[in-house]
Amino acid sequence: MTGFLSFIPRAVGQGIPLLFGCTGEIITEKSGNLNLGIPGVMYVGAISGVIGSFFYENSVGEGSMNAFLAIMIPVLCSLLGSFLMGMLYCFLTVTLRANQNVTGLAMTTFGVGFGNFFGGSLIKLSNLDVPTIALSKTSSYFSATLPFAKNLGWFGEIFLSYGFLAYLAIIVAVAAAMIIKKTRVGLHLRAVGESPATADAMGINVTAYKYFATVLGCMIAGLGGLYYVMDYASGVWSNDAFGDRGWLAIALVIFTIWRADIGILASILFGGLYILYLYIPTGMEHMELKELYKMIPYVVTIIVLIVTSMRNRREDQPPASLGLNYFREER
């Protein structure tokens, strides 16, 4: 039972970055943009926040930090970083009509490199022996929980033991699902992703919707990177630590059949799969099995992709013009 109790919060902790990434990508894909740059965007979101809080911590000193600024500076830096990534992607694919796949992959390469470059620079600046930056004070603000949560036993452990970004992720996912499904903006967004020519003829500004959805999606995804560093990793940045969570987030979009509300459970499930290997006893003699168990989320992803591609209900299909750029003049 204690094993299970400690497993759930860790699975959720692993799942939240995936949820941010997944929600962001769902909003983006609903507009017909297949943004494969999400892994890079999440890196940029993370490192931008780290840069902001690094300079804030260093300039005022740990003792005199203001809780509000300690949260707002990294959040705004992170949003700005991923906003710029989103604008870059849109400028290339919507305005210049570059191939979406190539642009996305290039942005992932760029984003990961960007993160590692500035991460490395900050590590140099901080003159530490270990190749990491520890922003423990900032992290303590991000991972602060309700003061009475600890007194509530298993309930507090499972539901109330997370920092505010985790709850934000769930609120954003629910809100995204509602907006896409119920509102006029959501209807128009779906129309843009399904058939931009139709949307255009009905007087919907296709370019604006694509820009807005993609940039917003990037900003949400970027928060996933920030959550990972500030809360999950306790403020410790080390290069490449974020790993391939961005790709899992993209795979989750297919798994959830483009529904942000399903994404909440799916990302926690995948978060659990991601760390499941730690909970499968192997004994000391067979440590190599652990490496095999690490494959579980990827194996499940492949199985899920196979299963989802066999479904053929029209409502469960990707937006019809996903990955295609829209030219008004084209016949």
Partner 1 sequence: MEKPQAAVSMRNIVKTFGKGVYANRDVDLDIYHGEILSLLGENGSGKTTLMNMLSGIYYPDEGEIFINSKPVSINSPKDAYELGIGMVHQHFKLVDVLTAAENIVLGLDGALDLNKAKEKIREICARYGFEVDPDKKIYSMSVSEKQTVEIVKVLYRGADILILDEPTAVLTPQETKKLFEIMRNMKKDGKALVIITHKLAEVMEISDRVAILRQGKYVGTLITKNTSPKEMTDMMVGRKVELGIERPEPIDPKLRLRISNLSVTDAEGIQKLKNINLDIYSGEILGIAGISGCGQKELLESVAGLQKVDSGSIIYYDDDGTEKELVGMDPVKIKELGVALSFVPEDRLGMGLVGDMDLSDNMMLRSFRDGKGVFTDRKSPHERAEKIVKQLHVDTPGIETPVRKLSGGNIQKVLVGRELYLRPSVLMTAYVVRGLDINSSYTIYDLIVFQKLSGTAVIFVGEDLDVLLQISDRVCVLCDGQVNGILDGRKAEKSEVGLLMTSLAENHESVSEPAYAKTGSDPEKEGGN
Residues that bind partner 1 (CB under 8 A): 182-184, 187-188, 190-191, 194-195, 197-199, 201-204, 314-315, 317, 320, 331
Least distance CB 165 / partner 1 (angstroms): 31
Token pair recorded at residue 40 = 């890079």
As a whole number of angstroms, the distance between CA 319 and CA 179 comes to 16
Least distance CB 101 / partner 1 (angstroms): 18
Q: CA angle, corner 250, sides to 245 and 252, nearest 5?
A: 90
Rounded to a whole number of angstroms, the distance between the first and last alpha carbons of the chain is 63
Torsions phi, psi for 236 (to 5 deg): -100, 115
Q: Which is nearer to partner 1, 182 or 290 (CB)?
A: 182
As a whole number of angstroms, the distance between CA 23 and CA 258 comes to 9
Token pair recorded at residue 92 = 């290339």
Q: Which is nearer to partner 1, 188 or 245 (CB)?
A: 188
Token pair recorded at residue 173 = 């996912």
Least distance CB 308 / partner 1 (angstroms): 16
As a whole number of angstroms, the distance between CA 219 and CA 144 comes to 23
Q: Which is nearer to partner 1, 201 or 302 (CB)?
A: 201
Q: Which is nearer to partner 1, 101 or 198 (CB)?
A: 198
Least distance CB 32 / partner 1 (angstroms): 12
Q: Which is nearer to partner 1, 201 or 303 (CB)?
A: 201
Least distance CB 214 / partner 1 (angstroms): 20
As a whole number of angstroms, the distance between CA 262 and CA 269 comes to 11
Token pair recorded at residue 24 = 């962001």
User: By 3-state DSSP, what share of the chain in percent is helix, strand and coil, each rounded to 5?
Assistant: 75, 0, 25
Token pair recorded at residue 166 = 């985790």
Least distance CB 105 / partner 1 (angstroms): 24
Judge contact between 9 and 157, C-beta under 8 A. Answer: yes
Q: Which is nearer to partner 1, 194 or 244 (CB)?
A: 194
Q: Which is nearer to partner 1, 127 or 314 (CB)?
A: 314
Distance from CA of residue 275 to its chain's centroid? 17
Least distance CB 173 / partner 1 (angstroms): 21
